[in-house]
A and B are shown apart, each in its own frame.
Chain A
Amino acid sequence: AQKVTQAQTEISVVEKEDVTLDCVYETRDTTYYLFWYKQPPSGELVFLIRRNSFDEQNEISGRYSWNFQKSTSSFNFTITASQVVDSAVYFCALSERDTGRRALTFGSGTRLQVQP
């Protein structure tokens, strides 16, 4: 069965600090997809990134970067020079190619608080 673990329940940092959110996943499929979503207080889940299992290249987008390592089944997310606007709950999610398991399985989320 697929499973996503976000061991960090809450992280608090001061503005301009770098912060890494951890995500560990379990799946039996060889083809799967990993996602990160951001949920601000308004409640809407905002898509940040999607990664396919066969693409282990790290990704950088502005202050955001993602480190995908199949060997450790991890897909970690780093925010560089954090800002107050980054305060939100961040979810890592997994889906598989099989039609019956395409639904997203979410981790429990990490609440990030960035203090000014």
Chain B
Amino acid sequence: KAGVTQTPRYLIKTRGQQVTLSCSPISGHRSVSWYQQTPGQGLQFLFEYFSETQRNKGNFPGRFSGRQFSNSRSEMNVSTLELGDSALYLCASGAGTSGSTDTQYFGPGTRLTVL
């Protein structure tokens, strides 16, 4: 099975711009989660999508948003970029079964640099 893919792998933007990152989960997986990794804050949960619905949300401002499509692919968007948004954004794929916590498998990440 192919793993989780994320595009683009690297991105450079300037303050005030917006950015869209894409994630394709493992085939058959229905849950996609997004995490932000920075040297100062470590790995932090952004949100989780399942069956095109946001199922869980972390403590991030409204500038961070996401969506999931019917084929389980997901995008996250960050508007009005700030310098502090520079980070590695990791997407995780889970089977999405109910009643338990899925093991999450991560993609290679998108490294976003905001200048």
How many cross-chain pairs have Cβ atoms below 8 Å apart between A and B? 53
Give the shortest distance, in Å, between A29 (CB) and chain B (any CB): 11
User: Which B residues between 83 and 115 are near A, CB-CB below 8 angstroms?
Assistant: 88, 90, 92, 100-109, 111
Chain A residues with CB under 8 A of B100: 97
Q: Is the CB of B103 within 8 A of A35?
A: yes
When distances are taken between beta carbons in the complex, the residues of chain A under 8 Å from B103 are: 35, 47, 50
- Residue B16 at the A interface, CB < 8 A? no
Size range of the chain A interface in the assembly: 20 to 34
Q: How far is the CA of A31 from the CA of B108 in the complex (A)?
A: 30
Contact between chains at A44 and B106 (CB < 8 Å) = yes
Instruction: Compute how far the CA of A42 lies from the CA of B106 in the bound complex, rounded to whole angstroms.
Output: 12
User: Interface digits, B28-43 against A, CB 8 Å rule (1 contact, 0 not)?
Assistant: 0000010100000011
| B88-A91 in contact (CB<8A) | no
- Once bound together, how far apart are the Cα atoms of A37 and B56, in whole Å? 22
Whether A104 pairs with B45 at a CB distance below 8 angstroms is yes
In the complex, whether B58 has a CB less than 8 A from a CB of chain A is: yes
Interface centre among A35, A44, A99, A100 (most CB of B within 10 A): A44
In the complex, the answer to whether A42 meets B108 with C-beta atoms within 8 Å is: yes
0/1 per residue, A65-109, Cβ < 8 Å to B? 000000000000000000000000001010111011011111111
Indicate whether B55 reaches chain A with its CB closer than 8 angstroms: yes
- Say yes or no: A44-B109 contact (C-beta < 8 A), given A91-B43, A103-B56, A103-B58: yes
Known A42-B108, A43-B111, A44-B106: A106·B101 in contact at CB below 8 Å = no
> What are 9 inter-chain pairs, A to B, with CB distance below 8 A?
A33-B101, A43-B108, A44-B107, A45-B106, A104-B33, A104-B43, A104-B45, A104-B104, A105-B45
Given contacts A33-B101, A44-B107, A99-B56, 11 further A-B contacts (CB under 8 A): A44-B108, A45-B92, A45-B106, A47-B103, A50-B103, A104-B43, A104-B45, A104-B104, A106-B42, A107-B42, A108-B42
Q: Which are the 3 A-B pairs with shortest beta-carbon distances?
A: A45-B106, A103-B45, A106-B43
